[in-house]
């Protein structure tokens, strides 16, 4: 293993990992924790300089290293001699723009090391690393089971931290239900925003669940304890999350269709009333148009009297009333 990683033995090896070299540009974005023969290397965020350092010290495959700085990777597991490479995703919600996006983080895991690379937005991973840095009891707890157990604890915390996000989505769905059936509220925009968020969450969690199915067998050789029960619990949490997201997707689609139907119905009601008014006003327009012509007509101004005006108004009123009765009988109003 020492040959594979390119490390020296004894004190030199530990010193080289704990104190990454610096270059003229400044220190590398690399932090390390070593306890009980296990080293956790955390890179936040990874750049080409950190990738070059990993290539020199660990001799990871170039394709895997390229995937670490590429932002268009899918969740995956790649098995190499002596280590396994993972690419995970997690949802990141921007409160200012109300847009959920997909962030990536990666991990290399070997017999006596774990390397994590992320942009710094994964708060649970950062908090766990800081806890291990500052608390010896936490190092003893998380490092004692081997690198496989340490990765499991990172994933377990990340999944547990997702449940408040899921609760927030369910709460927004409840509020949106009231808005959909309230005619005074335009809910179309809120539906579109939440629907986009749910689609992003599904795009993250469903591929991650598929990765978890393969992980247990891949990590057995890197764990000092049996993690079968732990990974079963992790899968149970993932299944619950994915099932809830499926339900959210179905609900938001129903809300979208319902809002469209109700909005269409409101528009149709308005158009129906406007058409009725236009139809009732039609006799007035016809009569006024006829008597607006520049020719002599019975009852006109030239030879007419007030009686002619009264008769005309009565005729139009009778026609309008007959139309209203007809519309009512046809249940158009």
Distance CA 285, CA 306 (A): 20
* Residue 148: strand, helix, or coil: helix
Backbone phi, psi, residue 123, to 5°? -65, -35
How many CA atoms are closer than 13 Å to the CA of 2, on its beta-carbon side?
9
pLDDT at site 2:
35
Distance CA 159, CA 246 (A): 17
pLDDT for residue 8: 33
For the entire predicted model, the pTM comes to: 0.72
CA-CA-CA-CA torsion sign (153, 154, 157, 159): negative
Question: Which of 232, 5, 25 has its CA nearest to residue 113?
Answer: 5
Sketch the domain layout of the chain as residue ranges.
2-264, 272-329
Phi and psi at residue 78, in whole multiples of 5°? -120, 125
State the alpha helices, DSSP H only, in 161-227: 163-180, 188-219
- What superfamily in CATH does domain 2-264 come from? CorA soluble domain-like (3.30.460.20)
Instruction: Give the model's pLDDT for residue 296.
Output: 54
Phi, psi for 65 (deg, rounded to 5): -65, -40
One pLDDT digit (tens) per residue for the chain, 333 residues: 333 333 333 333 333 444 455 445 678 889 999 998 899 999 988 989 999 999 999 999 999 999 888 877 788 899 999 899 999 888 877 777 667 778 889 999 999 999 999 888 888 888 999 999 888 898 898 898 899 999 999 999 889 888 888 888 888 888 888 888 887 777 888 888 889 889 988 988 998 888 888 887 888 888 888 888 888 898 999 999 999 999 999 999 999 998 888 888 888 888 888 887 787 777 778 777 766 756 455 655 565 556 666 777 787 788 778 878 877 787 766
pLDDT at 217: 81
Secondary structure of residue 14 in the 3-state scheme? helix
């Amino acid at each position: 293993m020492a040959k594979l990683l390119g490390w020296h033995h004894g004190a030199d090896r530990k010193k080289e990992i704990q104190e990454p070299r610096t270059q003229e540009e400044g220190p590398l974005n690399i932090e390390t924790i070593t306890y009980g023969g296990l080293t956790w290397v955390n890179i936040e965020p990874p750049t080409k300089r950190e990738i070059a350092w990993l290539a020199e010290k660990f001799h990871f495959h170039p394709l895997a290293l390229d995937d670490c700085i590429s932002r268009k990777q899918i969740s995956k597991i790649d098995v190499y001699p002596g280590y396994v490479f993972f690419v995970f995703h997690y949802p990141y919600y921007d409160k200012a723009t109300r847009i959920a996006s997909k962030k990536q983080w990666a991990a290399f895991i070997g017999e006596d090391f774990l390397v994590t690379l992320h942009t710094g937005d994964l708060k649970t991973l950062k908090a766990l690393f800081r806890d291990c840095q500052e608390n010896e009891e936490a190092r003893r707890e998380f490092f004692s089971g081997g690198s496989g157990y340490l990765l499991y604890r990172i994933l377990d915390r990340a999944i547990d931290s997702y449940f408040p996000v899921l609760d927030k989505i369910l709460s927004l769905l409840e509020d949106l239900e009231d808005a959909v059936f309230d005619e005074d509220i335009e809910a179309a925009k809120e539906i579109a925003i939440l629907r986009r968020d749910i689609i992003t969450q599904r795009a993250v969690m469903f591929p991650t669940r598929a990765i978890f199915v393969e992980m247990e067998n891949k990590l057995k050789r890197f764990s000092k304890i049996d993690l079968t029960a732990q990974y079963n619990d992790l899968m149970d949490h993932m299944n619950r999350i994915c099932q809830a997201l499926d339900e959210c997707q179905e609900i938001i689609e129903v809300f979208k269709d319902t809002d469209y139907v109700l909005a269409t119905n409101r528009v149709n009601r308005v158009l129906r009333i406007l058409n009725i008014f236009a139809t009732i006003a039609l006799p007035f327009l016809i009569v006024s148009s006829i008597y607006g012509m520049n020719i002599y007509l019975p009852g006109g101004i030239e030879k007419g009297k007030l009686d002619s005006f009264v008769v005309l108004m009565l005729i139009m009123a009778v026609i309008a009333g007959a139309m209203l009765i007809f519309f009512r009988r046809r249940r158009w109003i």
